[in-house]
Structure 1
Amino acid sequence: MAEPSPYLTATADAYDALAEIYADFARNSLDRLPLDRAIIAAFAELVRAGGPRPVAEAGCGPGYLTAHLRDLGLDAFGVDLSPALIDIARRDFPGVRFEVGSMGAFDMPDGELGGVVSWYSVIHTPPAELPPYLAEFRRVLAPGGHLLAGFFEAEDGPVAPFDHKVTTAYRWPIDELAALAREAGFAEVARMSREPLEDERFRRGHLLMRAIQPDPAATG
């Protein structure tokens, strides 16, 4: 098995060290975010309409959003690199499945899932390393399945690193991230940007995308 990238190890270690503090901060974060809840609800409705396939939260952290997806009627489970955060998720939501693992290498066949949520989970990924993650999300999604991504938005200029309280993270121009997703085999369904709340530093971006059926002519 290949050794994980140094940034993955550093990210997991950083979240392990702050797991309880981060979990306390994130646990009820959706309560004050009606626009965020609205796009999550739209994602859930689209996935349910596509049939009874499971949904993965990639980089689930302490599990609050995975549990919310279950409340919305999805067969959701969570995956995260941080063993400490997975322990918290299992403790707080004992009826939900959580696994330690990489969202860049799901242990499942192609086309297994009806949906993937990446909720501020690729923000620590160096920009050059993001396309393989999008390709992996596309691999595990059935054609027509949906991907929902939440991220910090760069309003003007290129991808920009910033001093996230846990470890270095990146802000993405929404058009640039949407273009990368198209290259990975997704069609954009909707996007939502919202201004930061008083205690937030940056605009928040959200992309809702659909996995496209591969074109046989393009593959052979």
Structure 2
Amino acid sequence: MNIVLVPTAVAAVLATTAATAGGYAAPIIAVEPVAAAPILQPMRDWTGFYGGLQFGRVGMEGKPGCDKWANPKNNLGKLSSLCSLDESGAQYGVHIGYLRDFGRIVVGAELSYDKLKVKDIDLWGDGLVFPDANGDMLRAKLLAGYDAGRLLPYATAGVAKATLDFVDIDNIPHSGKDTAFGYGVGMKFMASERFLMGVDWMTHEFNTTNGKADIDTLSLSASYRF
């Protein structure tokens, strides 16, 4: 009885093994795609002190309503008469400032000094040309801008003190000064972690001996970050 069962069992095992070997299919394992790790861009932080140089153009224009025939020799401590003046010249100087980055908003303050030079002034608009006018402008201003990575567009406002000197055709010197509010817009570019490039436009309304005059500046700047 046992002799009969052993071959039968062996045959059954061999048959099962053969069937399994012929019909076996390996399970399919789904592989989830692996997302590539994002490349993190370095953060741009505008916080810090900076200083540098600027140069550009200065424009001077008399305001409507100014008496063009007033005597510019009546110096009352203000800028000399600029009644019909509509001239432009060069400006150049130095600046120092500080920026604080709050994320998307950047605020700061800047102090700048510029030399002004306007050639061949037609002071009253009648063809009577005066020699070159020389002056300077000291400005203290606040800035508020938007952090756009390497770019910082901003609005600015502050106080400017200007002086202007020239000699008339009778070789009589004229000199005056005034303080005025100014405002403008600009943009800074972070060329590297240490160097900034910028462009800045501002306008100011000064009092003269017999009216008002606008003095505008358009400057290009290069700054080093400390």
Q: TM-score, normalised by structure 1?
A: 0.21
1 or 2, which has the higher helix percentage?
A: 1
1 or 2, which has the higher strand percentage?
A: 2
Larger radius of gyration: 2
Q: Which has the higher contact order (CA 8 A, sep 6+)?
A: 2
